[in-house]
Amino acid sequence: MTMQEYIDKAEKVLMHTYSRYQIVLDKGEGVYLYDTNGKKYLDFAAGIAVFALGYGNKEYNDALKNQIDKLLHTSNYYYNVPTIEAATKLSKASGMDRVFFTNSGTEAIEGAIKLSRKYFYKKNRHAESEIISMNHSFHGRSMGALSITGNAKYREPFEPLIGGAVFAEFNNLDSVKEKINENTCAIIVEPIQGEGGLYPANPEFLKGLRKLCDEKDIVLIFDEIQCGMGRTGTMFAYQGYGVKPDIVTTAKALGCGVPVGAFAAVEKVASAFEPGDHGTTYGGNPFATAAVSKVFDLFQSDNILDHVNEISGYLEEKLDGLVNKYDFIVERRGKGLMQGLEFNKPVKDTIIAAMDKGLIIINAGANILRFVPPLIITKENIDEMIIILESCF
């Protein structure tokens, strides 16, 4: 079949929930992707910050192949070795005490909502709780995750949602204080807003949230689904701020391509869950957690965090050069290998032009180019990206 025939077939059988770009991707190697016609693309999207280790990593692939031959699924009625090992590594990397594996980031958010509400219920013996989220935040598309997503265009078509969600201003501690009352069970925040425009939290804001939550016994949740797993130069972004949450959610690069997420919590909060409070059929199955376990091993053996800290400065320098050179670029924002360029006009045409020239980039809002490449990119890859991007301008 030709690429267009594949696309035509997809349009007939898939639900129209995505505005897909008109290419059919077939395989990947390193930091490059190839379509069904064999055309090569430099990938600066990494499957939306998922493929941290790039494509075709032999050790990663071998670990999955070995697990396929051993055991794919058991259910959570039983223990299995990969899940125990993965949970141990995630607990150590995050500083959390207990882990629950899910199938996705959205499910991790759902679990974090339930855990914070159960903690409130055990403490107060009533369920009239509220969660404070931030305007312009994005936490997922299920009914619970939508309810705490701070963008009305995502929520309104699906209301009524679960209720009990209120919204404050990101990086405005006074705005959060104004929303707190006796029913506040949790505050959730992305240390770096991704879909909301690549806005990093101010250190004072996160430290202020931690102090507020300590004073009032409110659960502090950090959504690190996109900004976690090494993308900012520490395993989790909050470690770069020196602020520890009570619950952290993670996914995307946690499995580097295998669908898996998790939420992890400190013992004080995690102990609120009792058998039967939460569950999943597939979450934490041996195949997915074998991927998680190998990802943590490779982060350590390949010195991924050191590389991110070394290379991210070069990316920032090159992007700042574009800001200084072109008056239609407003500013650069971000941290580590999670960067954005804000334009004074829509960027869709630039994305399409870049794709035509062999570069995959994505947006974060109509006017923002988002750069979330594999964490293994080199200076040569960044130079190649800049050349293609400028040719599109």
Query: Which residues, other chains included, contact 375 with Cβ-Cβ below 8 Å and sequence gap of 6+?
Result: 52, 53, 230, 231, 253, 304, 307, 308, 337
Token representation of residue 135: 């305007």
Same domain, 32 and 155: no
Q: Work out whether strand 362-363 and strand 368-371 pair parallel, antiparallel, or are unpaired.
A: antiparallel
- Alpha carbon separation from 247 to 106, 261, 342 (Å, rounded): 14, 13, 31
Distance between start and end Cα atoms, the chain: 34
Same domain, 33 and 63: no
Same domain, 132 and 192: yes
**Considering 259, 282, 301, which residue would you say is the last residue of a domain?**
301
Q: Work out whether strand 359-360 and strand 40-43 pair parallel, antiparallel, or are unpaired.
A: parallel
Percentage helix, strand, coil for the chain under 3-state DSSP, each rounded to 5: 45, 20, 40
Euclidean distance between CA atoms 263 and 108, whole angstroms: 5
Same domain, 46 and 179: no
**Considering 301, 318, 348, which residue would you say is the last residue of a domain?**
301
Query: Which residues, other chains included, contact 182 with Cβ-Cβ below 8 Å and sequence gap of 6+?
Result: none
Same domain, 268 and 310: no
**Considering 301, 319, 336, which residue would you say is the last residue of a domain?**
301
Q: What is the pLDDT of residue 336?
A: 98
CA torsion through residues 242, 179, 156, 160, sign = positive
Same domain, 279 and 315: no
Nearest to 139 by CA among 88, 187, 101, 210: 187
Same domain, 223 and 94: yes
Same domain, 75 and 122: yes
Nearest to 191 by CA among 156, 233, 130, 152: 233
Euclidean distance between CA atoms 321 and 387, whole angstroms: 12
CATH number for 354: 3.90.1150.10
* DSSP per-residue string spanning 38-75: --EEEESSHHHHT-TT-B--HHHHHHHHHHHHH-S---
User: Is the CB of residue 146 less than 8 Å from the CB of residue 154?
Assistant: yes
Per-residue pLDDT of the chain (393 residues; tens, 9 = 90+): 999 999 989 999 999 999 899 999 999 999 999 999 999 999 999 999 999 999 999 999 999 999 999 999 999 999 999 999 999 999 999 999 999 999 999 999 999 999 999 999 999 998 899 999 999 999 999 999 999 999 999 999 999 999 999 999 999 999 999 999 999 999 999 999 999 999 999 999 999 999 999 999 999 999 999 999 999 999 999 999 999 999 999 999 999 999 999 999 999 999 999 999 999 999 999 999 999 999 999 999 999 999 999 999 999 999 999 999 999 999 999 999 999 999 999 999 999 999 999 999 999 989 999 999 999 999 999 999 999 999 999
User: Is the CB of residue 225 less than 8 Å from the CB of residue 105?
Assistant: yes
Q: Is 262 left (phi over 0), alpha (psi -120 to 50) or beta?
A: beta
Token representation of residue 279: 């569950």
Q: What is the pLDDT of residue 127?
A: 86
Euclidean distance between CA atoms 107 and 119, whole angstroms: 18
Euclidean distance between CA atoms 167 and 135, whole angstroms: 6
* Angle between helices 379-392 and 304-325 in degrees, nearest 10: 30
Q: How many domains does the chain have?
A: 2
Is the pTM higher than 0.95? The answer reads yes
Query: Which residues, other chains included, contact 305 with Cβ-Cβ below 8 Å and sequence gap of 6+?
Result: 230, 233, 234, 235, 299
Which residue range is the domain that position 354 belongs to?
3-57+303-392
Token representation of residue 106: 């959205």
Q: How far does CA 324 lie from the centroid of its chain?
A: 29
Q: What are phi and psi of 219, to 5 degrees?
A: -75, 130
Same domain, 78 and 215: yes
Same domain, 266 and 294: yes
Tell me which residue has tokens 């074998």: 290
Same domain, 345 and 228: no
Same domain, 168 and 277: yes
CATH number for 106: 3.40.640.10
Euclidean distance between CA atoms 41 and 34, whole angstroms: 6
